[in-house]
Structure 1
Amino acid sequence: MNEARGLVLGLPGSGALPAQLAQALGWACVPLFVRAFPDGESLVRIDAAVAGRCVILAGSLDRPEGKTLPLLFAADCARELGATQVGLVAPYLAYMRQDARFHPGEAISSLSYARLLSRALDFLLTVDPHLHRHTALSAIYSIPAVAVAAAPAIAQWIVREVPSPLIVGPDEESAQWVAQVAQAAGAPWAVLRKQRQGDREVLISAQGLPPAGGCTPVLVDDIVSSGATLAGAARLLRGAGHPAPVAVVVHALMDEAAGRGILEAGVSRLVSCDAVPHPSNAIALLPAIVQGLAPLLEAA
């Protein structure tokens, strides 16, 4: 691969991902220029030649309200300027959790967002999307879409950093990630039970938790925003006599207050994958992203 073949465009707030990805691919990289006008509209500009090139828009879609329109404008602009293919590498893919109509009249935003992006892009790569009621990305996206697993990278970090780990999922939905991480790390695992009582209030029960022993609990979850689930799980573990747990998350969407609340609940260390730029980032996903991207680029 070479710079003449492809261009990586860094989305706003994308951190180091675009430059790292471009270097791994041997492509050129420029940030997408986005300027806000006083009336709230935005100017989007691509400061590089795109004719005859495959263009990858790179950056996570956390806080998606301010990122989606520039993404769509950039994809459309790249096509108009002669790009051969336009793809998206978004380690965090927004709007996947609203995967059903929980109350009358609600938009199923995972479906709406998938239709929106599928019309704008030729391919998509993300990391551990929240697939609960949707069986796969292909069930809602009409373009080639790859979901990369963070479990191998997380398992390697746990084996390196945590002695005698016990992998613990804070709720039933975390079971799929917990099982993968535990298998890759060669460690025992358990899943707690959660009952949500509001956006920031949850009840965690110890059903399925083994008695305290010589293991260090490692709480593993895919998405953390309010931090209530991890904090509740940490308090339960400490109350059951377990050592202070380590917490590892794939997508760190929490603010400073949420992160502080998790640590105050008894977590000894809080780390995340670099899917979303965050001070807790400690686990690199670039090798897995590049590997997952290879078949998409071969087909492009």
Structure 2
Amino acid sequence: MSILLFNPDSDPALASQLARLLDAQAGVLEQRRFPDGESYLRVHTECKGRRCVILCNLFHPDERLLRLLFLADTLREMGASEVGLVTPYLAYMRQDKRFKPGECVSSRPFARLLSEAFDYLVTVDPHLHRYHSLDEIYTIPSRVVQAAPLIAHWIGQHIRDPLLIGPDSESEQWVSHVAGLAGVPFQILQKERRGDYDVSISLPDLEQGQQCTPVLVDDIISSGRTMLETLSHLQSAGLPRATIIGVHGIFAGDAYTRLTQIADVVTTACIPHLSNQIDIAPPIAEAVRELMQQRDTD
């Protein structure tokens, strides 16, 4: 019996790709909101004894989480043999430490909620800064799809003489990995953040890269302030127009508009956006198959 793939939120392109790659049937949902704002959800596809996969991109988690949990619970009540979650952007990973007394380390309660609702988890390059792996906070099997090979391939196909630049120490793991796979040089700059919109970046050493095309790589592009500050330095140094590559393009506020005025912007298809140029469906489908095979042998 084929896999059932449910897509409770609007990511039809990725859902269609995954359904084809997994030979899955698209599950039919009825969803709406009551006048008081509460959610109504109904599953129209028989799922008793079937493997169910939910594709739910959690880049706006507070808007999606309750409906996602309701769907997972309903599928179990209807007799699904397993319920897995595919979320290319895994939210609430950035708050991984209590910086001030009383702060919620939100990555941990969020992980408990998802671990209790699902049998396994597939995501793309979660923000693992102080955690070494998802296993530190998630209690279900997980697979992390790495975007670095996909980005390196894209760079090799589209950028001539690239110099990869990471705007801060947290980006080093992404930039060094991509640079190694692509066989190109890279530099990591130093960032000082004084607030959400107040960021300063060190000047890069660009002697080796004067004839190169600067390529800024980071896992998350949100406010864009870090990238904008870095681009300002690159412009002052007289470098060619840069390319920005993000694994997760959140683009809060006018970030995308401001960035595209001075650079070319490319993202993976983790979060649906017009900047998507790097396909993620094949490795995600492979990760789902691996987890299903693991469950079969356990």
TM-score (norm 1): 0.95
Selected match of 1:15 from 8, 12, 24: 12
Q: Within the alignment, does 1:276 sit opposite 2:294 as a pair?
A: no
Indicate conservation of the 8 Å contact 1:15/1:277, yes or no.
Answer: no
Indicate conservation of the 8 Å contact 1:33/1:44, yes or no.
Answer: yes
Indicate conservation of the 8 Å contact 1:212/1:241, yes or no.
Answer: no
TM-score (norm 2): 0.95
Deviation at 1:210, TM superposition (A): 4.6
Distance in 2, matches of 1:178 and 1:212, equals 16
Indicate conservation of the 8 Å contact 1:6/1:53, yes or no.
Answer: yes
Deviation at 1:30, TM superposition (A): 2.9
What CA RMSD, in Å, does the superposition of the two structures yield over aligned residues? 1.4
Corresponding residue number in structure 1 for 2:166: 169
Selected match of 1:231 from 210, 228, 244: 228
Runs of 4+ deviating beyond 3 Å:
207-212
- CA displacement 1:202-222 (0-9 Å, x = unmatched): 101025555542110100011
SS in 1 for 2:15: helix
SS in 2 for 1:16: helix
SS in 2 for 1:297: helix
Gaps of 5+ in 2: none
Corresponding residue number in structure 2 for 1:178: 175
Deviation at 1:170, TM superposition (A): 1.1
After TM superposition, list the pairs within 5 Å mapping 1:127-142 onto structure 2: 127-142=124-139
Deviation at 1:87, TM superposition (A): 0.4
Distance in 2, matches of 1:287 and 1:55, equals 18
Q: Greater CA deviation, 184-193 or 26-35?
A: 26-35
Distance in 1, matches of 2:241 and 2:94, equals 29
Q: Percent identity?
A: 45
Indicate conservation of the 8 Å contact 1:12/1:34, yes or no.
Answer: no
> Matched residue pairs, number?
295
SS in 1 for 2:53: strand
Q: Greater CA deviation, 191-200 or 133-142?
A: 191-200
Corresponding residue number in structure 1 for 2:92: 95
Selected match of 2:280 from 281, 285, 298: 285
SS in 2 for 1:135: coil
SS in 1 for 2:144: strand
Q: Within the alignment, does 1:59 sit opposite 2:76 as a pair?
A: no
Q: Within the alignment, does 1:118 sit opposite 2:111 as a pair?
A: no
Opposite residue 157 of structure 2, the aligned amino acid is R
After TM superposition, list the pairs within 5 Å mapping 1:139-288 onto structure 2: 139-206=136-203, 210-255=207-252, 257-264=254-261, 266-267=262-263, 269-288=264-283
Selected match of 1:47 from 39, 44, 69: 44
Corresponding residue number in structure 2 for 1:295: 290
Deviation at 1:19, TM superposition (A): 1.8
Distance in 2, matches of 1:170 and 1:207, equals 9
Distance in 2, matches of 1:58 and 1:108, equals 25
Gaps of 5+ in 1: none
Indicate conservation of the 8 Å contact 2:53/2:84, yes or no.
Answer: yes
Indicate conservation of the 8 Å contact 2:9/2:57, yes or no.
Answer: no
SS in 2 for 1:67: helix
Distance in 1, matches of 2:47 and 2:68, equals 15
